[in-house]
Each structure stands twice: as structure tokens, then as C-alpha cells.
Amino acid sequence: MSIKPTAFALRIPDADIADLRDRLARTRFPDQAPGDAWAYGTDVVYLRELIGYWRDKFDWRAEEAALNAFPQFRVLLDDIDLHYLHVPGVGPDPMPLLLLHGWPGSVFEFLDIIPRLTDPARFGGDARDAFTVVAPSLPGYGLSFQPGQKRFGVPEMADCVASLMHDVLGYARFGAQGGDWGAAVTSRLGYAYADRMIGIHVNLMIAAGRDPSAFPKPNDEERRYLGELAQWMREEAGYQSIQGTRPQTLAFALTDSPAGLAAWIVEKFRAWSDCDGEVERAISRDRMLADIALYWFTGAIGSSFWPYYARLHGSAIFPAGGTVSVPTGYAEFPREIVKPPRTAAARVFTDIRRWSIMPKGGHFAALEQPEMLADEVRAFFQELR
């Protein structure tokens, strides 16, 4: 198959930036609910200040230039224009590595980690550990979205990026790494495309299962996990229910209000990162706003909900009882949203080669701890080269 990509550079029209600033200036804020800030969701005081910064000081063109510093392309695959970064490795034999983001993330998550993976010698590492990185915007996300296009669940996303790597770029075998939905797609690749995978690495063990009945006689670690899972489902999983049942209704509000969009996403950056309650300790304000602005400018927030809907309506990462036999690595960051025990993971991933407990970081590992995650990815794949 011969599919020709076209080079791409992001350039948001000046008129769209002006329109955004006008909308931000006319934001209507709710009152602050009684009680502690953030107790019921995004803090009004924080969001007022953030919206003011976004309107008056945030430099979108600087973030746009940071993305455009990497080679980018678009290619027609599965009836959509798939956007991706394709960054050659600097070393004697770079390994092709598919790097996959999740929700509410984007390729902006990867701007600091990509150089550490493609050119490790620049950061004091070994050039023999270099990767050639391919980082797509997941179908339906950011620059891989156009109004009216079809929706993708995890299996369809995996098929699309597998075709990108094999059919478009010509990589017979490659590695994959991901967090959040990127971890789900990575796991699906290990299941459905085992013959193409050198190995897979995830920083969210999303495919390990969340059914308490799978632990009839839980040990201490499993009891800890079940307690965390119950707390997560009770207090943190409401967004999954609305995104998974009424994604279109929510899309109206977040497509029309940039402040509403920011409130929806910032709350997750704060709750899921290792920030001690202050999100900008973990994720820079400008990079966080770049991610939010990309959702705004592309109008992709509604389509980004689709994996949640698909999962709640029968689209599994792989069938019940399915296992992944390719070499697997996992980095558990302490502030990850859920942290399944290795016993649960081993039921699904039958060849776990590396299981690392990280000292710092949360759900957005590539954003929060790019050096630490890059070191882990290199260490995992070293024995597979």
C-alpha cells in the first residue's frame, strides 16, 4: 500500500485568536459554592485569574512555534486526516516508537519528552538508545479532527495508528508507549498486532480490570487497590458517566464557552497531577493553556469524548479473557488515578518485563516528569533492541 503524507504546520488564523479573546472577556462566572476551594469542582478564584491570563498574556504563537519546531504531517487514513509528529532519532539504529496521548491531553504533552527520546546523548544518555518517535493526535482529537467525521473507539484507534506505522511509514515492527487512552490503545496494539510490536510500555494500567469480583480473596495490596478504586468511582468518575452517556449535550457547553472548557479540563489537570493542590507546581500554565486552546481552536472536545461512549456501550479494549503476550513495561507514578497491583496486571499481560514504582509524578507523566519517564522508556526497551 502506498499512502503519501503531506507536511503540516499549525497556523491558527489571527481572527480566531481575536474571537477567543473576545469570548474570554465576556465570560460569565458562577458564584463560589460554600466550603473549601475546589471541593465541588474548579475554584472560581483560580479560574478568574487563569482566564485573565489566557485573555491578556498567554502567547499562543509561542506554543504554536514550539509544536511547529517538530516535523509534522497529515495523511488520509480510515477516512480521516490523521495528524502526527515524526521525529527522526539521533543514533546508530533508532527504534521506531509510537507515542500516544490521552484525554484531556494532546501532542502538546510530548514537546519536552520527545527530544529526550530521539536524542538521548544530548541529555547525557547513550545514542544507542535513541528512538524515532511518531506521535499522532488520536483520531477525533485536536488536529486529527474535522467536523462531521466518524468517531473512533479504542480498537479503531489502534487499527488506525497501526496502519500509520506499518502501511504509511513502513515500520515492520515498532514499540509503543502511552498513558490514559494512549495506554488503552497501546494495550490494544499488544493484543491485536502482537506480530508488529517490539514491546509496549504504559504509565496507566488501564487494561488490568476494575471488577472487584476478580479478587475473591484479596491480599493487602489488592485491598488497597479496591479501596482506591471505590473512592475513585464514588468521587472522581462522574465525568466518565456524562462523557460516556450524553457526550453531545456536554459538547454544546464546552464548544461554546472557552471558560467552561478550561474549567472542565483544568480540574482534571489539578486532580490527577502530583501538584499538592496547586496545578502549576506540576504543569506549567502556558503548556496547560496550549493544550486547552488546541481543543478550543479545533472544536474537538465533543469528539474527544467518544472513547468513553464507546467503552460504556460495548467497545472493550479487547475481549473478555483476552491477554497480551508481547513484552510489557509499566511505570507507576504515585499520583496516578488508579494503581492496580501486579497480580491483576499479570492476568492480562503475560510477559511483564519491567514494573517500576516511581518517586514522583501523576497521571500526566510526560508533562510532569519528562526526564523520569524517558529514562524508564529507554530502560525498558534496552533489552528488546
> Cell 546508530 appears where?
92
List of residues 6+ apart from 212 with CB closer than 8 A? 226, 229
Measure the CA–CA gap between 313 and 293, rounded to whole angstroms.
Answer: 30
Measure the CA–CA gap between 157 and 68, rounded to whole angstroms.
Answer: 24
229 close to 346: Cβ distance less than 8 angstroms: no
Residue 217: per-residue pLDDT: 84
366 close to 373: Cβ distance less than 8 angstroms: yes
40 close to 33: Cβ distance less than 8 angstroms: yes
- The answer to whether position 1 is within a domain reads no
Rounded to two decimals, the pTM is: 0.96
- The answer to whether position 312 is within a domain reads yes
- The answer to whether position 296 is within a domain reads yes
Among candidate residues 119, 295, 363, 375, the one labeled active-site is 363
Active site residue 166: no
- The answer to whether position 171 is within a domain reads yes
174 close to 336: Cβ distance less than 8 angstroms: no
Give the chain's domain count. 1
Bridge partners of residue 99, in order along the sequence: 177
Residue type, 222: E
| Blockwise average pLDDT, block size 10, the chain, 385 residues | 86 98 98 93 97 98 98 97 98 98 98 98 97 98 97 97 97 98 98 98 87 81 89 92 97 98 98 97 98 98 97 92 96 95 93 98 98 98 95
Element (H or E) spanning 363, and its range? none
- The answer to whether position 180 is within a domain reads yes
- The answer to whether position 281 is within a domain reads yes
- The answer to whether position 130 is within a domain reads yes
Active site residue 309: yes
Residue 2: per-residue pLDDT: 55
Residue 20: per-residue pLDDT: 98
List of residues 6+ apart from 121 with CB closer than 8 A? 90, 91, 127, 130
Domain span including residue 152: 6-382
Among candidate residues 180, 274, 286, 291, the one labeled active-site is 180
CATH no. for residue 188?
Answer: 3.40.50.1820
For residue 149, what is the DSSP state?
A: P
Residue 327: per-residue pLDDT: 98
- The answer to whether position 375 is within a domain reads yes
Active site residue 14: no
Measure the CA–CA gap between 156 and 160, rounded to whole angstroms.
Answer: 6
